[in-house]
Each structure stands twice: as structure tokens, then as C-alpha cells.
């Protein structure tokens, strides 16, 4: 059982070390991580040297008091009342000219902007820079939640693969995946589902359109379910007509087969070799060097790893923060490996992405896809 009060005390130690006086917590994930309570629209002022203040919609106050260890829970029935609670708490803790952290990745930008405008004397910091020291290394309870979500992702991936046939749309495939994941226990999606077929498979980041999928089209599928509060990030690439065992009228491009093999070998190879003590950048370097040995070297996009946990993309995230490449991998860090697409115009795009848990001797693949071939064609 996680003791959230002890976890909060650990965070306060890190805040002291980093010179952060308080954190304005608005994101669902950081709020849950510090309180054990899961709800939207909760706002919390988390202090370095005092217990926090939680501000919620008035009818939710008693629920929050019952679900958390926090005693100072304040309710609001208007935006003016909400802001007044903020100002009163800031003044009472002498924070008007302090260093205050924000959930810059998950808080609505207009809230951060307004708060900063109304408090011009504060120095801004990123909450993730404080929280990540703990959030990057998962507890046993967190790992079990992530294993459950990984099973949900596999159910969704299998449903998506089985729905691939000529004439369906990307939206049809996404609907089958999302319905299967909901039935399997997904509470929500950490990000939109990607189903990118044909020329859309070249896109760096995906979406879902009403494009009709043709026989022989490459189809990149990337799923992001959240179950038991924890996320997954699993991707596979299929060819329409092959994933479900149907005959493909249009032959598969031989260059695409070589492209898939190059990516699969690089991603599988790094998973077999990675271990604690590697730096984050070593994973990207391994995959990039493997692909650069092939004819597709000019298409390498060096962004093959990021953290996964309460969010489908969280620290370490070297694509957004290059210095995260220097972070050392430790047991029970959970990472996505295979993030970037290998996209070649005129051929197609390919991606395999798995979530792994770093262990003392290597890694455990949480998304092996037991019933899903890595290259299903």
C-alpha cells in the first residue's frame, strides 16, 4: 500500500534541494501521485514547508477529505471564489515573490498565463522537474498497474489488426481498438489513437482520418490506453489484408519489407541489450546506428525512447529535453522503446513501440503482444 503522506514528504525534500518554495498542482497525474485521489479540476498548492491546500468544487470537498490525508480542503462555487482561495493561500505562505512550480505539460495554458500575470513577482519552475525524481522509478504497485494496462493495449491492438481489410477506414479501425480497450478495462486514453494508412503512415505523429484503407497499404497503429490510472504506449505496423490473414491483391512493396526488417531488428536488438546503467541516449544511439547500417540511414529520426507511467509520455523525455539523454536507467524505470517512425516517401512508414521495465539484469517487455506478430506480413 502506497503511503501518500510519506511520498509527499519525499517530494518536499526534493523541493528543498531544488529551491522550489511551492508547486501549483493542476494536472490529474501529479495531483493523484501526491494525494491518492483521482479527479479532474482539483487544484492544489503544495508547499515545501507545510501541508498542502486543496481547492475543489464545493460539492466535492467531503469526498476529497475522505480520500486523502490533506486537512486543508477548500471549496468554491464560482471562479472568483476559486481565485480568492489561491490569493489567500499564496499570501499566507509568503509566496508572492517565491519560486513556484507549475504543471506546464498538463495544466491549461490560460491558467498558467493568468496566474503568472496576476503574480508577477514569482519565479516559475516546472513541477515535473521536481516530481520526476520519484515518478521515473515505479513502485511494485505501480508496475502491476502498468502490466494491466499493457494487457489492455494488446487487446486493442489485436482488435485493430483483425479489423484491417480493404474498404474500412482509419476511423473504423480506431473504433474497434478503442471499443475493445474500453471493454478490457481502459478508463480513458492518454492520447488520441493513431491509425495512419498509406501515405499517412509517413507522418511523424499520427491521428485518425476517414481515409479508406486499400489492400496492401501499410498501417501504423499506436494505442495509448489508461487503466488503473497508469498509461501504456504500444505501436505496431501491419499491411492491410495480411494482419487478418486475408489475401492481398496488391503485392507488398519489397522496399517496405526491407524497411520493416531494419526497424524491427534495431528495436528488438536494443531491447535485448539494454540494462541498468545505460544512459537514455544510449538507447537512441543503438537504434540509430543499427538503422544507419541499412539503405535507410538518411531517414533516421533520433527519438526512440521516453518515459511512460501516469502519462503516456513523461520524464525522461529526451525529444523535448535533450539533457534527459544523460539520465541513467535504473531498475523499475518504465520506458517506451521505438517511439520514432521510420518513414520513406514512396515506400511507407513503420514503427514498433513497446513499454519495458528496466530490471537489474536487462528489461521486461510489458507489451510483448503474445498473439500479435511483430511483423504481421
CA distance 134 to 224: 22
DSSP per residue over 176-192, as a string? HHHHHHHHHT--EESSP
CB atoms within 10 A of CB 371: 11
Residue 33's CB is within 10 A of a number of other CB atoms, namely: 22
Distance of alpha carbon 374 from alpha carbon 368, whole angstroms: 9
Q: Where are the domains of the chain?
A: 4-135, 140-365
Pick the CATH number of 4-135 from 2.60.40.290, 3.20.20.30, 3.40.350.10, 3.40.640.10: 3.40.350.10
What are the beta bridge partners of residue 363? 358
Contacts of 56 (CB under 8 A, 6+ apart): 39, 41, 42, 43, 64, 73, 74, 75, 76
- 169 phi, psi to nearest 5 deg: -100, 165
Q: Can you give the C-alpha Rg of the chain in angstroms?
A: 22
Peptide bond into 316 cis (omega under 30): yes
Cα 76 from chain centre: 31
Pair 56, 43: CB distance under 8 Å: yes
Of 197, 156, 193, 194, nearest in space to 177 by CA: 156
Q: Which three cell numbers stand for residue 185?
A: 478495462
Q: How many CA atoms lie within 13 A of 165 on its CB side?
A: 8
Q: Return the bridge partners of 235, or none.
A: 222, 353
Cβ neighbours for 372, distance < 8 A, ≥ 6 positions apart: 154, 157, 158, 161, 236
pLDDT, tens digit only, all 377 positions of the chain:
889 999 999 999 999 999 999 999 999 999 999 999 999 889 999 999 999 999 999 999 999 999 999 999 999 999 899 989 988 998 999 998 899 999 988 877 777 787 788 788 899 999 999 999 999 999 999 999 999 999 999 999 999 999 999 999 999 999 999 999 999 999 999 999 999 999 999 999 889 999 999 999 999 999 999 999 999 999 999 999 865 555 445 678 899 999 999 999 999 999 999 999 999 999 999 999 999 999 999 999 989 999 999 999 999 999 999 999 999 999 999 999 999 999 999 999 999 999 999 999 999 999 999 889 899 88
CATH class, 140-365 region: alpha beta
Pairing mode, strands 342-344 and 348-350: antiparallel
Amino acid at each position: 500500500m502506497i503511503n501518500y503522506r510519506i511520498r509527499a514528504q519525499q517530494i518536499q525534500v526534493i523541493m528543498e534541494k531544488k529551491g522550489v518554495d511551492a508547486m501549483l498542482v493542476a494536472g490529474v497525474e501529479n495531483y493523484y501521485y501526491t494525494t491518492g485521489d483521482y479527479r479532474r479540476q482539483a487544484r492544489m498548492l503544495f508547499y515545501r514547508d507545510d501541508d498542502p491546500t486543496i481547492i475543489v468544487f464545493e460539492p466535492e470537498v467531503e469526498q476529497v477529505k475522505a480520500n486523502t490525508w490533506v486537512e486543508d480542503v477548500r471549496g468554491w462555487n464560482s471562479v472568483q471564489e476559486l481565485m480568492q482561495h489561491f490569493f489567500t493561500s499564496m499570501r499566507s505562505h509568503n509566496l508572492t515573490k517565491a519560486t513556484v512550480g507549475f504543471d506546464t505539460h498538463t495544466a491549461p495554458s490560460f491558467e498558467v498565463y493568468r496566474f503568472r500575470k496576476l503574480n508577477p513577482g514569482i519565479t516559475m519552475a516546472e513541477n515535473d522537474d521536481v516530481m520526476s525524481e520519484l515518478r521515473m522509478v515505479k513502485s511494485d504497485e505501480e508496475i502491476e498497474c502498468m502490466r494491466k494496462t499493457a494487457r489492455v493495449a494488446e487487446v486493442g491492438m489485436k482488435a485493430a489488426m483483425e479489423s484491417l481489410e480493404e474498404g474500412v477506414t482509419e476511423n473504423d479501425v480506431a473504433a474497434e481498438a478503442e471499443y475493445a480497450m474500453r471493454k478490457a478495462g481502459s478508463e480513458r486514453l492518454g492520447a488520441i489513437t493513431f491509425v495512419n494508412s498509406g501515405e499517412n503512415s509517413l507522418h511523424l505523429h499520427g491521428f485518425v482520418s476517414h481515409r479508406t484503407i486499400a489492400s496492401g497499404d501499410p498501417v501504423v497503429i499506436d494505442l495509448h490506453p489508461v487503466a488503473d490510472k497508469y498509461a501504456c504506449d504500444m505501436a505496431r505496423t501491419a499491411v492491410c489484408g495480411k494482419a487478418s490473414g486475408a489475401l492481398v491483391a496488391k503485392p507488398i512493396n519489397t522496399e517496405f519489407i526491407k524497411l520493416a526488417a531494419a526497424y524491427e531488428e534495431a528495436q528488438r536488438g536494443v531491447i535485448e541489450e539494454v540494462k541498468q546503467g545505460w544512459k537514455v541516449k544510449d538507447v537512441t544511439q543503438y537504434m540509430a546506428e543499427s538503422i544507419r547500417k541499412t539503405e535507410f540511414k538518411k531517414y533516421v529520426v533520433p527519438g526512440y525512447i521516453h518515459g511512460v507511467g501516469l502519462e503516456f509520455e513523461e520524464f525522461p523525455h529526451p525529444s523535448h529535453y535533450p539533457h534527459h539523454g544523460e539520465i541513467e536507467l535504473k531498475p523499475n524505470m518504465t520506458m517506451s522503446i521505438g517511439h520514432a517512425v521510420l518513414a520513406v516517401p514512396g515506400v511507407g512508414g513503420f514503427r514498433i513501440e513497446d513499454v519495458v521495465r528496466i530490471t537489474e539484469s536487462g528489461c521486461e517487455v510489458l507489451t510483448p503482444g503474445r498473439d500479435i506478430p511483430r511483423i504481421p506480413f
